[in-house]
Amino acid sequence: MTSANLYELLAAGFPADRTKPCFLMSDGAAISYGALEAGAAQVAGRLIALGVEPGDRVALQAEKSAAAVMVYLGVLKAAAVFLPLNAAYTGPEIDYFKADAEPRIFITDPPAFVAEANGAQPLDLAVPRAAADLAAIIYTSGTTGRSKGAMLSHGALAANAISLHATWGFSADDVLLHALPIFHVHGLFVALHCAFLSGAPMVWLPKFADAEVLSGLAKATVMMGVPTFYTRLLANPGFTREAAAHMRLFISGSAPLLPSTFAEFEDRTGQRILERYGMSEAVIITSNPLDGDRIAGSVGYPLPGVELRVGGGEETGVIEIRGPSVFSGYWRNPEKTREEFTDDGFFVTGDVGHRDPDGRVWISGRAKDLIISGGYNVYPREVELVLDELAGVVESAVIGVPHPDFGEGVVAVVIGAAEEAALIAAARAQLAAYKAPKQVVFVDELPRNAMGKVQKALLRERYAALFATPR
């Protein structure tokens, strides 16, 4: 049996000339593919010397660095299971992950670990793996309840990497601007795997910073970002058509891209952002086309091999998926796994949406964000899309909070300068009355997590008493 170790697939994409750069650093220095490969071999050798066996978890909680990527690849090569953790997690949060995943090794200083691994006997050949063997556990950002560990196999990650590499037309001529964190599937799997399979260099930025991104765009051809990257670029007058002229592709995901951002971006640069949809449990599920029309507000078509349907027999409902990149279940949580898969093997994503006659997928929100007001279902995204188009509104987040008459009342939390009454009236003109906000709250900023997702649970908490006392 040939091995399905993901490391072998990724390394097969490395350039034949290993002196070629993999990481282009802001100070002009570069780290070659040869150095990455050597680092991964040393790390794998060191892990094995430390007694790590196939299937053992190796956790990494650290700031982004090239050394952290060496650790990731070394873990794969040694057939251990990679467990990345957000550097921002606090002690009690880490205690939970440690107790749940029981990592054999916990790395917090990748450069030091790689330096220490220098003395180890490098592992030349990846430890063989079957496609179904686990490659990584990704704890879902879970804004409510306890985080669950999504188990991703070597085969699932390989299938998604191959699919994205082709779908987005990656080649050795590309240079990927990488400003995402690498504790999350977006920066870790989606971005890195596309670069590796192409043997392409990456403009390697520790985080999104305007000046570095702007100078990086002059060297890069593709950028992957969360929507906030794009709004931040647009807020910078230095981001012009010329500044984007070297780029062939801007990709957005992890949170909904506002149609207004899409439009403003096209006005400014002449380029249409390609929006895609994914999640920790399946990496990427749908994408707008590289060559066909990219439509604002839609997340595009299911990737080849992905079956996608709307559950519940209604036109709009919870999206269910089945396909080669879908995860193998939640770590040590068979009940939760059973709950979230249908009898015929579809994963119930929890995202609410519909498909148009063309087959394009549109996401209208999360099932748990669904508002039930006076017995009627209100999908927040539908209301947000209307509000976001109104004069004076920069962005909105629509939530439901307890209401004495309706059970839940629709509330719009809005960034912008507008009149509450005018917004409500304009929403009523376009939506059924029960969907229109009963109240609008103006704020300077919406709370977001590291991936740019608006933290609705936090908003619901903050405004829980809004209707408790009449105004």
Chain residues in the site for ligand AMP (CB under 6 A) = 140-141, 185, 253-256, 275, 277-280, 299, 349, 351, 363, 366, 451
Q: Is residue 395 within 8 Å of residue 416, measured between CB atoms?
A: yes
Contacts of 175 (CB under 8 A, 6+ apart): 24, 200, 201, 202, 203, 219, 220, 221, 222
Which one, 75 or 257, has the nearer CB to ligand AMP? 257
Q: In sequence order, what are the beta bridge partners of 268?
A: none
- How many of the other CB atoms lie within 10 Å of CB of 3? 18
Which one, 297 or 407, has the nearer CB to ligand AMP? 297
CA distance 137 to 140: 9
**Shortest approach of ligand AMP to residue 274 CB, angstroms?**
10
Residue with tokens 């000046």: 211
Q: Is residue 152 within 8 Å of residue 138, measured between CB atoms?
A: yes
**Shortest approach of ligand AMP to residue 360 CB, angstroms?**
12
**Shortest approach of ligand AMP to residue 282 CB, angstroms?**
9
Residue with tokens 């929100």: 365
**Shortest approach of ligand AMP to residue 420 CB, angstroms?**
27
Which one, 281 or 408, has the nearer CB to ligand AMP? 281
Which one, 279 or 440, has the nearer CB to ligand AMP? 279
Cα 446 to chain centroid, rounded: 19
Which one, 14 or 139, has the nearer CB to ligand AMP? 139
CA distance 160 to 455: 28
Closest CA to 277 of 293, 257, 260: 257
DSSP string, 118-148: TTS----SPPP--TTSEEEEEE---SSS---
| The CA-based dihedral angle spanning residues 252, 135, 5, 174, taken in that order and rounded to the nearest 10 degrees | 20
Which one, 84 or 122, has the nearer CB to ligand AMP? 84
Which one, 241 or 368, has the nearer CB to ligand AMP? 368
Which one, 5 or 337, has the nearer CB to ligand AMP? 337
**Shortest approach of ligand AMP to residue 363 CB, angstroms?**
4
CA distance 402 to 27: 53
CA distance 133 to 155: 8
**Shortest approach of ligand AMP to residue 150 CB, angstroms?**
8
**Shortest approach of ligand AMP to residue 90 CB, angstroms?**
19
Q: Is residue 81 within 8 Å of residue 60, measured between CB atoms?
A: no
Residue 287 CA: distances (Å) to CA of 67, 121, 299, 301, 313: 31, 42, 6, 5, 24
Positive or negative, the Cα torsion across 190, 134, 103, 338?
positive
Q: What is the CA radius of gyration of the chain?
A: 23
Which one, 26 or 455, has the nearer CB to ligand AMP? 455
Which one, 37 or 281, has the nearer CB to ligand AMP? 281
Q: State phi, psi for 110 to the nearest 5 degrees.
A: -60, -40
CA distance 32 to 76: 19
